[in-house]
Amino acid sequence: MGNRIVLHATLLLAILCFPAIIFAQPKPNPCLPPNVAEGQRRLTDYIEQRICENLKARVVQTDPTKQSAPPAAAANSTSLVERSSAPDLLGLGLDFLNLSDVAGGKKSATPKTLTFSAYALKSALSSEDPLDPEIYNKNAKWRSVSFTVGYDVPENTNTREPIVGIKWLAYNGRDVGTSANQTEIGKIQAALDNSAIGFSKIRGDVRLYLFALLQKRAQLPAGVTITTLTDFNDNVVSDPTKFESILKALSDDEKKNIDAIVAKNISAFATLDADTKNAVKTIRTRPQLALAFTTTQRNGKRPDEYSGVLTFDKGMGTNSITMNGSFIFKKSPTGKDSKGGQFAAAVHLPLQAFKPLGYTDPVLFSLEANATGMTGVAPVYKAQAKLTIPLMPGVEIPISVSVANRTEFIKEKEVKGKFGFTFDISKALKAFRDGFQKRE
Partner 1 sequence: MANDQPAASNICKKTRRVLLGGVQVDDGQHLHYSVTVDGSKPMFSLACRHKKHFNAADLGPPKKNYDVVWPRSSADEPSPDGEDYTFSMSFAAALKYTLVVELHDATHNRVGVGVIVDADYESENPVALCNEAFVIRTP
Distance of alpha carbon 125 from the chain centroid: 27
Q: Does 120 bind partner 1 (CB under 8 A)?
A: no
Which is it for the CA torsion 126, 130, 131, 133, positive or negative? Answer: positive
Can residue 436 be called a binding residue for partner 1 (CB under 8 A)? yes
Indicate the SS3 state at residue 271.
Answer: helix
CA distance 57 to 269: 11
Residue with Cβ nearer partner 1 (298 or 439): 439
The residue among 238 and 375 lying less far from partner 1, judged by its C-beta, is: 238
- 189 touches partner 1 by CB under 8 A: yes
Specify the residue, 211 or 381, whose C-beta has the smaller distance to partner 1: 211
Pairing state of beta strands 112-117 and 90-98? antiparallel
Q: Count the Cβ atoms, other than its own, within 10 Å of residue 123.
A: 21
Q: Which is nearer to partner 1, 207 or 331 (CB)?
A: 207
Q: Which is nearer to partner 1, 130 or 398 (CB)?
A: 130
Cβ contacts of residue 399 below 8 Å, gap of 6+?
Answer: 11, 14, 15, 18, 78, 386, 387, 388, 389, 417, 418, 419, 420
Looking at 2, 16, 35, 300, which residue binds partner 1 (CB under 8 A)? 35
Residues 3-32 as x/- pattern, contact with partner 1 by CB under 8 A: ----------------------xxxxxxxx
Q: Least distance in Å: CB of 303 to partner 1?
A: 43
Instruction: Indicate whether 226 belongs to the interface with partner 1 (CB under 8 A).
Output: no
Residues 396-435 that bind partner 1 (CB under 8 A): 427, 430-435
Contact criterion met (CB below 8 Å) for 214 and 206: no
Cβ 202 to partner 1 shortest distance, Å: 9
Query: Taking CB under 8 A as the criterion, which residues in 278-337 touch partner 1?
Result: 279-280
| Shortest separation between residue 147's beta carbon and partner 1, angstroms | 22
Q: How many residues at the interface with partner 1, by CB under 8 A?
A: 82
Give the up-direction half-sphere exposure of residue 103: CA atoms within 13 A in the CB hemisphere.
15
How far apart are the C-alpha atoms of 425 and 59, rounded to whole Å?
A: 23
Cα–Cα distance between 288 and 157 in angstroms, integer?
Answer: 37
Q: Which is nearer to partner 1, 358 or 376 (CB)?
A: 358
Give yes or no for residue 59 binding partner 1 (CB under 8 A).
yes
